[in-house]
Structure 1
């Protein structure tokens, strides 16, 4: 009887605990992405076999990170109830891949475009103003040898329409699309260089 009474009391306490939280609406949890915003594709004459986007370990998660410059300039923080749909590198890869219109060489060869995401964060300069800060490095690697043929750094700061996670997403989306177009135009300029056996187009076709 004693054991039965103790079990019944435990079940009653558990039930009361459940009733105590019944009807409490949890805080909303939001998942965002940075899908393409109708960017016009940029035709690139440089033959490409692959596009890869990589990021450091601290950006290899779906956390939406921000920095409070006035108080904690060196500290990276993350929103509690907001997340990206995937890692920044995955989302950047989709946008870059849609904007850059390139094909492998006729023999199936082609260079590899590697994009390093060095920074991907929302920066707060005050309690009411913030901006998306994105830094990329684009490297064009030769077929098979992976020799570096060209490299360029890109950076953008886009003011957010509101000082919160949703505003940061709008700014991040715009920034990624801007950098994808800038990278495509950079590649396009490489393909328009002087013709010859040592040209970018020729080396990517070997």
Structure 2
């Protein structure tokens, strides 16, 4: 009986402490993808390439970080309350992929350099989220469709997908997993671009 009373008091104290913390407000943690990995593949045969900004669902056009509880309701995307990106996922992915291509030997141009190249890479995100398959296990999933155009004609199109395990079941773990998934997709994209027929 005494132990039960003590446990009840301890829980009440913990609840009051959490309430006090919540009332004071919690600072928002901001994340990006971190330093890019060391480049191991090359697509130097691609030459100059205009890389358009990544596009995708409107929900990803903000700094909010989302996750899904696959074991509870896979159809519901939930935002983290006190964690966010330093830029939109579109902006982070655009910069990361440009960096990876550049390190792989590709001459990366922006859309304003249209006169310098007739080859354009366009990318559309289909999925970018941290998926929990249990309360303690999650993966970062990136799936995007890439299309290469030359002189406004489609040369090739491919969907890339990568899922990487999160080292921890929280926002920081999701960031690491999504960064790793993004780097894996960028590496696959380099190999794909290098295999495309050269421009004439």
- TM-score, length-scaled by structure 1: 0.75
Q: For 1:102-129, what per-residue CA distance to the aligned partner results, in whole angstroms no more than 9, with x for missing partners?
A: 237xx83330001111110000000000
> How many matched pairs?
168
Consecutive unaligned residues of structure 2, counting only runs of 5 or more, are 1-19, 110-114
The CA RMSD over aligned residues, in Å, is 1.9
Residue equivalent to 1:92: 93
- On the 8 A contact 2:50/2:117 being kept in 1, the answer is no
Q: For 1:83-139, what per-residue CA distance to the aligned partner results, in whole angstroms no more than 9, with x for missing partners?
A: 0111111111111111113237xx833300011111100000000000001101110
Shift of 1:25: 4.8
Please, which of 111, 123, 132 is the counterpart of residue 131 of structure 2? Answer: 123
Q: 3-state SS of the aligned residue for 2:45?
A: coil
Residue equivalent to 2:165: 159
Shift of 1:42: 2.7
The structure with the largest alpha-carbon Rg is: 1
Whole-angstrom distance in 2 between the partners of 1:164 and 1:116: 26
Q: 3-state SS of the aligned residue for 2:46?
A: coil
Whole-angstrom distance in 2 between the partners of 1:79 and 1:108: 42
- On the 8 A contact 1:119/1:135 being kept in 2, the answer is yes
- TM-score, length-scaled by structure 2: 0.77
Residue equivalent to 1:185: 191
Q: Does 1:51 align with 2:51?
A: yes
Q: 3-state SS of the aligned residue for 2:87?
A: coil
